[in-house]
Structure 1
Amino acid sequence: MFEASNLLFIYVETPLHAGTGRGLGAVDLPIQRERVTGYPIVQASGLKGCLRTEAQGKINQGLTQDEFFAIFGPETDRASDHAGALSPGDAKILLLPVRSLAGVFAWVTSRQVLERLLRDLAAIKDRVPEFQSIHDDLQQPLEAIRTDPPEPRGDDEERWALVSEDTSVQAGDQVVLEEFAFTPKPKSAVGPIGQWLANNALPQSDEYKYWHDNLAQHLVILPEDDFRDFCLFGIEVATRVALNQKTKTVAEGPWTEEYLPSDTLLYAPLHASPSRAPRVSLTAAQVLEKVRTLGITRTTLGGDETVGRGIVYLRFLPPSAAAVSAPSGEEG
């Protein structure tokens, strides 16, 4: 099984279309979603393909060709030779930007989404002890809001929004997201959650300093149903046509495409096992360290790359330490 793990955070810089093909609903080309929750995802195969493409360009720049095949697997016509050592999970939603009457936009999430992140961190820290403090720093403020206030159970119950005590998205006595009004509930725990995300999930390069400093003030934790509805109905939809090159009239379309908006934050677990390739011997920890030290930061993910879609910024956690293998004999 897996012997080393890490988390990869994915910050969406331009609208992202990780599609499912032709849809049967109102949108012709919808994005990938979890079947049960409806939350947006990027399937693991697409994420691994993105990392593989970037790593291929790094061959002979800190990565040998044999190491490349050991980590990502051989070419398709030799797929039966051995499996790759790297196993990404699906990229899951963490923060979704939503228009706000105050503060331009809010990053919305829910307790369920944050608890999922905590669960994924717990699974990793059991294998990688260095994640213990990172896990605990998120667990403590989450415990303070775990059941207070309770989830609304009917349309006539108050729709609340948990915000930081110095929030930037409160307009008067309400938080207005799109056309929906919520009663703000300032909580001292929201600030530390936002700071944890800023410190551990956001890119740390200079161009992200503004976002790092303002994330906590723009963070809104919504009831589960309301967050789900924004994920289902608040996603960007674009209408496109294809033009005849000679006449410049419409040759095909219009059709509609769904996009995760800019400033969305996703995360995916990365797991590794020891390499299986005959000419390369890498531990699971070395596999993840090889991937991390390739310096893959800004790249493209999903479709519509030729029209500027899908530019993302990647950040590994922890950013400055190699993942550590499980003790000998321990299964992942």
Structure 2
Amino acid sequence: MTEALNNTPAPRGRAQLLALHAESGVHAGTGSTISHLDLPIQRENFTKLPIFQASTVKGALREHFESLAASVTAAGEGTRQAAEKQVDAFFGPERGDLTAGMGLIQEGRLLLLPIRSRVSVYAMVTCPLQLQRLKRDVAGILPYLNDETRASAERFLGLAVPEPGESQAAVVASSPLQAQSTGHIFLEDYRFQVLAPFESSCDALALWFSEWLYGSAQPADLTDQYFKSRFATHFAILSNDDFLAFAEMHLPIETHIQLNEGGTVAFGPWNEEFLPPDSVVSLAVVMPEPLTGVPGTAVFPDSDAMNTYFAAGVCTGTRIRLGGGRSLGKGLLRSALLGGTIGLATNGEPTC
């Protein structure tokens, strides 16, 4: 049995590990109400952790790629039509009963949550559960990654994951989050004891995440330089229960009303939940090798063609929109591909 498994050919295809880094509050709603919340965000039923449902991510990415296709109109009608065919092939046609899209898009899971700190403004916080789930995702797509991305993925898989207990925290060495001479960090109104033995593990994880989010090379943009440096020093790991409590009970909620022409209340109030700015959600996008005769192979003859198309559209540094409240500046996300480089938009077309 073991010999048979070892002789199984490697899966054919490509994959990308995508991070969506919020630059504004993000409301990916459920369309229903719960208790005190009129418009809650999407969450897992069993952990109550925020998520982006796969259909939500797919819709946002499709809209983004459609806008890129529309931007090539100046290059000629034939070029625009070819770009539209690429969108339909990768994401599926508008009529979903015709055929499925060639790209497989996973649900987005909350990976990092900004939490207010009494010292140094806020921390970028995660927990062992979400790190181990990310490791499982990375291991699952490892055979599909190209050589450069696979090297970074394997480095992450080899890193140790600290497991602090309740009211404990793992932080990087000389973290500015620590209150002087106390051996504690203070998040919201809670105190967490810092565990010094985990500093080296946190240093390695913080460096890996900063390279994923902002590129392994020094970013050319001064703002990206600042946030990459800040992330590497403000990274923290809490216990699963503590992290889940923050993610369930401490997200921003905004109250709104609608006024009539006379300036009095026409409708409301209602409240709306958001994932806060600087939150990071991660997901995998898999592009299996297309079978002969499958619709779309005329556009993407192989998985390498799909991978090139997808990576060019969402290369690190690309901005996309997701969720509601866009007229209020909500839903702005910055993409980051594992092993990707900073992309700059030129006439609506990002280059990596």
For Structure 1 versus Structure 2, the TM-score category normalised by the shorter chain is 0.7 to 0.9
Q: Determine if contact 1:40/1:93 at 8 Å carries over to the other structure.
A: yes
- Which of 212, 216, 219 is 1:200 aligned to? 212
Moved more, 98-107 or 265-274: 265-274
TM-score, normalization: structure 2?
0.82
The 5 A counterparts of 1:154-169 are 159-169=167-177
Provide closer, same or farther for how the CA distance between residues 175 and 317 of structure 1 changes in structure 2, counting only shifts above 3 A. Answer: same
The 5 A counterparts of 1:105-254 are 105-128=122-145, 130=147, 131-142=149-160, 145=162, 149=164, 151-152=165-166, 159-172=167-180, 173=182, 174-186=184-196, 187-202=199-214, 204=219, 206=221, 207-244=223-260, 246-254=261-269
Once residues 255 and 184 of structure 1 are traced to their aligned partners in structure 2, the CA distance between those partners, rounded to angstroms, is: 40
- Which of 296, 320, 332 is 1:299 aligned to? 320
Provide closer, same or farther for how the CA distance between residues 45 and 134 of structure 1 changes in structure 2, counting only shifts above 3 A. Answer: same
- Compute the displacement of 1:139 (Å): 2.8
C-alpha deviations, 1:166-215, integer Å up to 9, x for none?
20111131211000101011311101110100001246561211110121
C-alpha deviations, 1:55-95, integer Å up to 9, x for none?
1122273752222211111122xx33221111211111111
SS in 2 for 1:269: strand
The letter of the residue matching 2:319 is: R
SS in 2 for 1:263: coil
The letter of the residue matching 1:211 is: F
SS in 2 for 1:201: helix
Matched residue, 2:112: 95
C-alpha deviations, 1:206-244, integer Å up to 9, x for none?
121111012121111001100000000111111111111
The letter of the residue matching 1:199 is: E
Once residues 205 and 270 of structure 1 are traced to their aligned partners in structure 2, the CA distance between those partners, rounded to angstroms, is: 27
Once residues 205 and 248 of structure 1 are traced to their aligned partners in structure 2, the CA distance between those partners, rounded to angstroms, is: 48
Q: Determine if contact 1:141/1:190 at 8 Å carries over to the other structure.
A: no
Structure 1: segments with no counterpart, 5+ residues: 153-158, 321-332
Bigger proportion of residues as helix = 2
SS in 2 for 1:122: helix
Provide closer, same or farther for how the CA distance between residues 318 and 81 of structure 1 changes in structure 2, counting only shifts above 3 A. Answer: same
Structure 2: segments with no counterpart, 5+ residues: 1-10, 73-78, 342-352
- Compute the displacement of 1:112 (Å): 1.2
Q: Does 1 or 2 have the higher relative contact order (CA < 8 Å, sep 6+)?
A: 1
Matched residue, 2:336: 315
SS in 1 for 2:158: helix
Q: Determine if contact 1:85/1:284 at 8 Å carries over to the other structure.
A: no
Once residues 144 and 132 of structure 2 are traced to their aligned partners in structure 1, the CA distance between those partners, rounded to angstroms, is: 19
Q: Determine if contact 2:321/2:333 at 8 Å carries over to the other structure.
A: yes
SS in 2 for 1:30: coil
SS in 1 for 2:62: helix
Q: Determine if contact 2:142/2:150 at 8 Å carries over to the other structure.
A: yes
- Which of 302, 309, 331 is 1:283 aligned to? 302
Q: Determine if contact 2:12/2:144 at 8 Å carries over to the other structure.
A: no
What number of residue pairs does the alignment pair up? 308
The letter of the residue matching 1:137 is: R
Once residues 65 and 311 of structure 1 are traced to their aligned partners in structure 2, the CA distance between those partners, rounded to angstroms, is: 24
Moved more, 256-265 or 133-142: 133-142
- Compute the displacement of 1:129 (Å): 5.6
